[in-house]
Structure 1
Amino acid sequence: MEQLYSSLFIMALGVASCVVYFLGTNWLLTLIFPSKNVSNQVMARNLRRAASIRPWLFLGPALSFLGLYLVYPVFESVALSLHDRNGDQFVGLSNYLWLFNDPEFRESLFNNLLWLLVVPAASTFFGLVIAALTDRVSWGNIAKSLIFMPMAISFIGASIIWKFVYDYRAPGSEQIGILNAIVEAFGGTAQAWITIPFWNNFFLMVILIWIQTGFAMVILSAALRGIPEETVEAAILDGASGVQIFFKILIPQIWGTIAVVWTTITILVLKVFDIVLAMTNGQWSTQVLANMMFDWMFRGGGDFGRGAAIAVIIMVAVVPVMVWNMRQASAQMEDR
């Protein structure tokens, strides 16, 4: 209860601070640029100046926090990646040379590429199919709610759920894992699924696909509803089948949205960390870049320089996709 009260107090303090800041800055702006008891010319000039300054008063705190918690860490990480394990001695590109010669890094890079190939494609595909199907049934909204529900679960929470799905007990013991119970029910042999090299990566990917399909479904469902009904009706009158309508009418008209969803999930996949940490901790050939960075930065590695170098590699991979994503989203907004 103490933690609950503390959280509520902090939330109330935050809201109160925002209200005080809003009222205080507006009062101060009015004091500096008065619009009463002055000539019309001065009043018009003051109103223009106040209007140009006011947006920056609201953006100011956000920009300050972004600079403190986003921009500054980027430059600090780049600088740290050029120093030794304690961040004291300049070593140049040594950490990057070590990185590309390290077998664990190559394994992590390969696994990240696997995630990039499978998760965005599968999540977008399932989200698109489900969006198209649920829009045509009376209980579609209920189905969408159930499919979207995993989005409300944290990655760690989802990993714990799926640990029970993949759970393995020694031979002779009762299998409580759903997957092994099904395998044994059909006469198969229970397996320690998440310890099987290469294939265990796909078992971990299923968790993220399960979570992100709901996100893709909601965005793509909204895009599908924006397609004019006349287009679909004309295709039906011309004798087009359901499959032809889906692939030749619907998908081309929402291709921009599909690309945005795809790249959004791609950015998430490049930073995947929680699922691997909770399920395998990078063991059994499941290591990924973010988990490797965490190991070197904060755990057994204890090398700030190498950990920062991995962080810079992740950032370099994410930024181009993020910029392209933002441009696509902006282009879509302009088209509308």
Structure 2
Amino acid sequence: MEQLYSSLIIMVIGVATCAFYYVFSNWLLTVFFPTRNVANAKMAKNIRRAAAIRPWLFLFPALAFLTLYLIYPVFESFYLSLHDRNGDQFVGLSNYTWLFQNPEFQESLVNNLLWLLVVPAASTFFGLVIAALTDKVSWGNIAKSLIFMPMAISFIGASIIWKFIYDYRGPGSEQIGLLNAFVEFLGFAPQAWITIPFWNNFFLMVILIWIQTGFAMVILSAALRGIPEETVEAAVLDGANGVQIFFKILIPQIWGTIAVVWTTITILVLKVFDIVLAMTNGQWSTQVLANMMFDWMFRGGGDFGRGAAIAVIIMIAVIPVMVWNMRNASAEMEDR
């Protein structure tokens, strides 16, 4: 209950602070740019000035937090990556040299590439198929709600759920894991699924696919509903079947949206951390870059130099995808 009370108090303080800042910033504008008891020409000038400044006042808290928690850490990470474990002595590019010669980094890089190949493709494909199917049935909204529900669960919470699904209790023990119970029902021996090298990566990917399919479905469903019915009706009159309409009529018209969904999930996959930490902690050949960064930065005594070098590599990998995604999204909005 103490945690609940603390959360409620923080929420009340946060809302009250936002309301106070809104009122206070507007009051400041009226002080510096008064509109009462002034000449008409000056009043019009003050109104224009206040209108130009007001958006920046409202944006200031967000910009301040972005600077403090995003821009500053980028430069600090790059600075630390060129220094030793304590951030005191300049070591140049030696942390990066060590990084690319480290077997664990090479394993993490391969695993991240594997995640990139599978998760965005699978999530986008399932989301698109489900969006197309549920738009055609009366109970489609109910199905969408159920499929979107995992998006409301944190990655750690989802990992705990799937940990029970993959649970293994050893030979002769009663299996409580859903997957092993099903395997035993079919007459096969249960397995410690998340300890099987290579394949365990796919078992972890299923969790993120399960979460992100709902996101892809919602965005792509909106895009499908924006397609003019006339194009589909014309295709039907020309003798096209359902598969041909789906692949040759619908998909080409929402390709921009598909690309945005794909790249958005790709950015998330490049930073995947929570699922690996909760399920395997990088053991059994499941290490990824973000988890490796966490290990070097905060565990084993902490090595800020090497941890920051991994963080810089992740950032460099994310930036091109993010820029392309933003440009593609802007182009999509302009087309509409």
TM-score range, shorter chain: over 0.9
CA contact (8 A) 1:295 1:301 kept: no
CA contact (8 A) 1:119 1:205 kept: yes
Counterparts of 2:18 and 2:187, CA distance in 1: 62
Equivalent in the alignment of 1:206? 206
Whichever residue aligns with residue 286 of structure 1, its letter is: T
Counterparts of 1:333 and 1:117, CA distance in 2: 27
Please report how far the alpha carbon of residue 7 of structure 1 lies from its aligned counterpart in structure 2 after TM superposition.
1.4
Please report how far the alpha carbon of residue 105 of structure 1 lies from its aligned counterpart in structure 2 after TM superposition.
0.0
Please report how far the alpha carbon of residue 8 of structure 1 lies from its aligned counterpart in structure 2 after TM superposition.
1.1
5+ residue gaps, structure 1 = none
Write the deviation string for residues 103-131 of structure 1: whole angstroms up to 9, x where unpaired.
00000000000000000000000000000
Equivalent in the alignment of 2:20? 20
Please report how far the alpha carbon of residue 301 of structure 1 lies from its aligned counterpart in structure 2 after TM superposition.
5.5
Counterparts of 2:152 and 2:20, CA distance in 1: 32
Whichever residue aligns with residue 29 of structure 2, its letter is: L
Whichever residue aligns with residue 129 of structure 1, its letter is: V
Counterparts of 1:276 and 1:72, CA distance in 2: 27
Counterparts of 2:298 and 2:48, CA distance in 1: 51
Q: RMSD across aligned C-alpha pairs, in angstroms?
A: 0.8
Write the deviation string for residues 17-63 of structure 1: whole angstroms up to 9, x where unpaired.
11111111111111111112111111111111111111111011111
Equivalent in the alignment of 2:291? 291
Counterparts of 1:198 and 1:301, CA distance in 2: 30
Equivalent in the alignment of 1:112? 112
Give the 5 Å matches for 1:107-146: 107-146=107-146
Equivalent in the alignment of 2:228? 228
Q: TM-score, normalised by structure 2?
A: 0.99
Equivalent in the alignment of 1:270? 270
> Which is further off, 30-39 or 190-199?
30-39
Q: TM-score, normalised by structure 1?
A: 0.99
Write the deviation string for residues 56-98 of structure 1: whole angstroms up to 9, x where unpaired.
1101111111101110000000000000001110000000000
CA contact (8 A) 1:83 1:92 kept: yes
Whichever residue aligns with residue 314 of structure 1, its letter is: I
SS across alignment from 1:138 = coil
1:75 and 2:75 are equivalent in the alignment = yes
Write the deviation string for residues 264-297 of structure 1: whole angstroms up to 9, x where unpaired.
0000000000000010000000000000000000
CA contact (8 A) 1:77 1:312 kept: yes
CA contact (8 A) 1:267 1:321 kept: yes
Counterparts of 2:9 and 2:70, CA distance in 1: 26
Counterparts of 2:116 and 2:239, CA distance in 1: 38
Equivalent in the alignment of 2:184? 184
Whichever residue aligns with residue 306 of structure 1, its letter is: R
Equivalent in the alignment of 1:59? 59
Write the deviation string for residues 202-253 of structure 1: whole angstroms up to 9, x where unpaired.
0100000000000000000000000011110110011000000000000000
Provide the identity percentage. 86
Equivalent in the alignment of 1:261? 261
Equivalent in the alignment of 2:314? 314
Equivalent in the alignment of 2:332? 332
Structure 1 stretches of 4+ moved >4 Å: none
CA contact (8 A) 1:297 1:306 kept: yes
Give the 5 Å matches for 1:24-63: 24-63=24-63
Please report how far the alpha carbon of residue 161 of structure 1 lies from its aligned counterpart in structure 2 after TM superposition.
0.7
Please report how far the alpha carbon of residue 326 of structure 1 lies from its aligned counterpart in structure 2 after TM superposition.
1.0
Whichever residue aligns with residue 166 of structure 2, its letter is: Y
Q: Alignment length, in residue pairs?
A: 336
